[in-house]
Amino acid sequence: MNDQYHDFTLTRSPPKVTVSSCLLGENVRYDGHNKRNNIIIGTLAENLDVLPVCPEMGIGLGVPRPPIQLVQYINKIRAVGVLDKSHDVTLQLEQYATRFLDRHPDLCGAILTSKSPSCGLNSTKLYTQEGTLLNQQVSGIFVQKISDTHPGLPIVNDDNLVSTQSRVVFILRVYAYARLMQAINAENSAVALYELHLCYFPLVLSMSETKTMMLDKIIREIMIEFTQERLNRYRLLFGQIMQLSIHRHHLADFVSMTIKQQMGMGNTGSMEPISDALQHYSKGQYEWSALLASLEGITGNIDKRREKAFIAGHWLVPVTG
């Protein structure tokens, strides 16, 4: 496949990502305020199709409203009123999450407010019925439901998107998930999955050799005979790998191997300036935007169609800030 051009642009672009409404500046918090986050708004506007969500408003709680919290009951965490524990909205929040997912089958990610009893991912306080703090890393009812229903869906808290690098990684995960869904829904899923596999192989290999070998085995089985069971295994494992930590050197390896694959640049001479730029990035001397600018300059004389696929082909997205 070395000299073959893989067009991995999305048919629907950009991917749809839901965002807590309070992060977008809407005054929907229990106290009538918001948690506007200009960095997230800026990054999102550039790269994603933003879908606001406020689960507590969605189930009919108004503004202002009595605050709720997570409380541990026998075998079940419930969202109940801080002052009135008989005010239990657990079921409504779960049902709202199910309806929300049904309405948006094309959802490819979520950015939700940390520490919220509805939206917070692994960051919310959990109390006993007597009011003693049990745990501070529990997930809110809405986010728990969507992550249970869609394993592998990229979900992140607002306070995990502070650095440019974290936003690059999140957007990369969202685009990978979008492409996975696109491949699964393609007319010829086996071929589409195989193309996806080749595209992301360098990245997943640099993150986990063992898991990538397992993934490779599944794609070979799929190419021999496509079955739903094999597809489900591939989808699950791909999602698990993409949730592993992605560091700068993983991305640098990914870019390097992909350039070699897609650009057909076999000789080390032409790779040298690219390797230098990637090393700067790997060591933290370049931000992502500087790396892209540098690569654009280096690859400027290469076949325009391939350059477009490489630079603007959606897996290398320009994240600034």
Residues that bind ligand SF4 (CB under 6 A): 20-22, 28-29, 54-56, 113, 116, 118-119
User: What does the block give as tokens for 275?
Assistant: 């390797």
Looking at the Cβ atoms of 116 and 282, the one nearer to ligand SF4 is: 116
Query: At closest approach, how far in Å is the CB of 181 from ligand SF4?
Result: 24
Residue of 80, 148, 158 whose CA lies nearest to 114: 158
Q: How far is Cα 149 from Cα 60, in angstroms, rounded to an integer? A: 23
Looking at the Cβ atoms of 20 and 282, the one nearer to ligand SF4 is: 20
Query: At closest approach, how far in Å is the CB of 112 from ligand SF4?
Result: 7
Looking at the Cβ atoms of 110 and 255, the one nearer to ligand SF4 is: 110
Q: How far is Cα 109 from Cα 175, in angstroms, rounded to an integer? A: 9
25, 34 Cβ separation under 8 angstroms: yes
Looking at the Cβ atoms of 22 and 80, the one nearer to ligand SF4 is: 22
Query: At closest approach, how far in Å is the CB of 20 from ligand SF4?
Result: 4
Query: At closest approach, how far in Å is the CB of 90 from ligand SF4?
Result: 14
Q: How far is Cα 218 from Cα 233, in angstroms, rounded to an integer? A: 7
Looking at the Cβ atoms of 26 and 216, the one nearer to ligand SF4 is: 26
Residue of 146, 105, 164, 177 whose CA lies nearest to 20: 146
23: Cβ contacts below 8 Å, ≥ 6 apart:
34, 35, 36, 37, 40, 41, 111, 112, 113, 158
Residues paired with 112 in a beta bridge: 157
203, 250 Cβ separation under 8 angstroms: yes
Query: At closest approach, how far in Å is the CB of 92 from ligand SF4?
Result: 12
Residue of 61, 53, 58, 168 whose CA lies nearest to 111: 53
The two most distant CA atoms of the chain are separated, in Å, by 71
Query: At closest approach, how far in Å is the CB of 148 from ligand SF4?
Result: 18
Query: At closest approach, how far in Å is the CB of 139 from ligand SF4?
Result: 12
Looking at the Cβ atoms of 14 and 55, the one nearer to ligand SF4 is: 55
Q: How far is Cα 48 from Cα 107, in angstroms, rounded to an integer? A: 11
Tell me the pairing of strands 107-112 and 124-127: unpaired
Question: Which DSSP helix (H) or strand (E) runs through 76?
Answer: strand 76-81
Looking at the Cβ atoms of 51 and 192, the one nearer to ligand SF4 is: 51
Query: At closest approach, how far in Å is the CB of 30 from ligand SF4?
Result: 7
70, 78 Cβ separation under 8 angstroms: yes
Looking at the Cβ atoms of 30 and 127, the one nearer to ligand SF4 is: 30
